[in-house]
């Protein structure tokens, strides 16, 4: 082979090698671009998933907002209706000039514990028993209905009918009991129903108090501790005396229900 032919062959081979290298470079670039495209496609799919989730959250928030707006409108409507109605006013009637303003203030601000004590204090004041600190059954039977109705009405109003002597009586009768036949067994069930049973009956069978609206219906007022049991030395005796006091209260309430306002 002549020198010229050899040179031409070498040149052709060199050109072919260069073209192969160029092709390989292009092939590598294509592979890189495909990998980049796949990565971006994966990220796009993730973004689309996030967007769908966010849209679902937005839809849920919109639904919640709509529900709240509807609730607000309803509350405004109820408030408007309430404002159009005159507030029920309780006349603080009393047979012997007792001032129930403090009791009303305590109940209107839901200071239940202080109101419970004020109730007992006022009942002692009505019967002139402030110094002795307790009421006898005879005192309860003689308690003026005007004052008893005032106290009961205040409790019922400011507790939204959750507390009050008449609430206790209604619960007692709903259990199938009769106020003129209050025995130990039914009174024990009644005490548990109203949440009055103490955790340790050996110390004080009646003694549990909850001074808020989470208390069971009829839980307040509880003035049994102001019924005469100063001579009782045993828990059972205290229970029986308080039972008699509660029965006297129910009897008084029944009597007062028959009297005109």
**Tens-digit pLDDT string for the chain (261 aa):** 667 777 777 777 778 778 888 888 888 888 888 888 888 888 888 888 888 888 888 888 888 888 878 777 766 665 455 444 444 578 899 998 999 999 999 999 999 999 999 998 999 999 998 888 888 888 888 999 999 999 999 999 999 999 999 999 999 888 888 777 767 778 888 888 988 876 665 555 566 678 998 999 999 998 765 554 444 443 444 565 677 778 888 888 888 988 766
Do residues 130 and 247 share a domain? yes
Do residues 4 and 74 share a domain? yes
Into how many domains does the chain fold? 2
CA distances, 192 to each of 112, 172, 234 (Å): 20, 12, 20
Do residues 13 and 112 share a domain? no
Give the largest CA-CA distance in the chain: 148
Model pLDDT, residue 227? 52
CA–CA dist 187, 107 (Å, integer): 27
Do residues 140 and 200 share a domain? yes
Record the tokens describing residue 187, joined without a space. Answer: 């009174």
Candidates 153, 142, 134; CA nearest to 223 is 134
Domain that holds residue 42: 1-85
Model pLDDT, residue 84? 46
Do residues 156 and 50 share a domain? no
Model pLDDT, residue 220? 92
CA distances, 92 to each of 89, 134, 151 (Å): 9, 23, 8
Do residues 210 and 237 share a domain? yes
Backbone angles phi, psi at 206, to 5 degrees: -105, 120
Asked if residue 200 is part of any domain, the answer here is yes
Do residues 112 and 231 share a domain? yes
Spacing of C-alpha 64 from chain mean position:
22
Do residues 140 and 246 share a domain? yes
Look-up: residue for tokens 């919640």? 64
Asked if residue 16 is part of any domain, the answer here is yes
Do residues 74 and 191 share a domain? no
Model pLDDT, residue 93? 92
């Amino acid at each position: 082979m002549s020198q010229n032919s050899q040179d031409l062959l070498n040149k052709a081979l060199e050109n072919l090698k260069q073209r192969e290298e160029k092709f390989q470079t292009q092939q590598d670039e294509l592979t890189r671009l495909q990998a980049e495209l796949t990565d971006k496609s994966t990220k796009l799919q993730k973004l689309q998933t996030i967007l769908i989730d966010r849209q679902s959250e937005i839809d849920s928030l919109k639904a919640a907002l709509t529900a709240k707006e509807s609730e607000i409108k309803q509350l405004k409507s109820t408030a408007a209706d309430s404002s159009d109605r005159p507030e029920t006013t309780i006349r603080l009637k009393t047979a012997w000039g007792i001032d129930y303003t403090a009791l009303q203030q305590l109940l209107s601000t839901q200071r239940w514990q202080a109101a419970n004590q004020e109730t007992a204090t006022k009942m002692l004041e009505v019967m002139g028993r402030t110094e002795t600190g307790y009421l006898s059954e005879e005192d309860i039977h003689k308690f003026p209905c005007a004052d008893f109705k005032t106290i009961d009405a205040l409790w019922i109003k400011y507790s939204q009918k959750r507390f009050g002597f008449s609430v206790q009586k209604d619960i007692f009768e709903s259990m199938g009991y009769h106020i003129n036949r209050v025995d130990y067994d039914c009174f024990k069930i009644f005490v548990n129903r109203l949440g009055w049973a103490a955790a340790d009956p050996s110390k004080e069978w009646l003694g549990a108090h909850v001074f808020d609206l989470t208390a069971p219906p009829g839980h307040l007022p509880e003035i049994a501790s102001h019924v005469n049991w100063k001579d009782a030395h045993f828990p059972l005796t205290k229970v029986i005396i308080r039972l008699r006091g509660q029965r006297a209260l129910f009897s008084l309430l029944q009597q007062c229900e028959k009297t005109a306002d």
